[in-house]
Structure 1
Amino acid sequence: MPKMKTNSSAKKRFKKTGSGRFKCKQSHLRHILTKKSTKRKRQLRSGSMIHDHDVAMVRRMLPFA
């Protein structure tokens, strides 16, 4: 049986919380920021949780998390 491997891109993007859920950073905050309002950019700074229907996919990519 081959080794289980962690998906390299997933380990950079997702972190497991103490309760077993996964958190990630919000998107749309890298470039083309001049047309976005200050309020929108400020709210994008906070992280968010992975949606329930995506948790199984993330868990499969991060078997040791």
Structure 2
Amino acid sequence: MPKAKVHSGAAKRFKKTASGYKHKHAFKSHILTKMTTKRKRQLRGTSTLNAADKPLVARMLRDV
């Protein structure tokens, strides 16, 4: 039986941690001149994935 493949797009975007998955924020790549400095600052860093999205990401990363 062949190995199950990991979703390569999800593998680039999510990292598994002890408490769940961490991810970067969206809307922080280009055309940032119209966005306020406060908004850009709040989009920095990573955050944990919402509990409702965990099963979908776990399936894409084959962690089930």
**C-alpha root-mean-square deviation of aligned residues, in Å?**
1.6
Match status 1:17 vs 2:17: yes
**Structure 1, unpaired ranges of 5+:** none
TM-score by length of 1: 0.86
Q: Distance in 2 between matches of 1:3 and 1:41?
A: 41
Report the alpha carbon displacement of residue 48 of structure 1 after superposing the two structures with TM.
Answer: 1.5
Aligned to 1:49: 48
User: In the comparison of the two structures, how many residue pairs are matched?
Assistant: 64
Report the alpha carbon displacement of residue 2 of structure 1 after superposing the two structures with TM.
Answer: 3.3
Match of 2:43, SS state, is: helix
Percent identity reads 54
**Structure 2, unpaired ranges of 5+:** none
TM-score by length of 2: 0.87
| Dislocated runs of 4+, deviation >6 Å | none
Superposed, which structure 2 residues align to 1:19-38 within 5 Å? Answer: 19=19, 21-38=20-37
Aligned to 1:62: 61
Amino acid at match of 2:42: Q
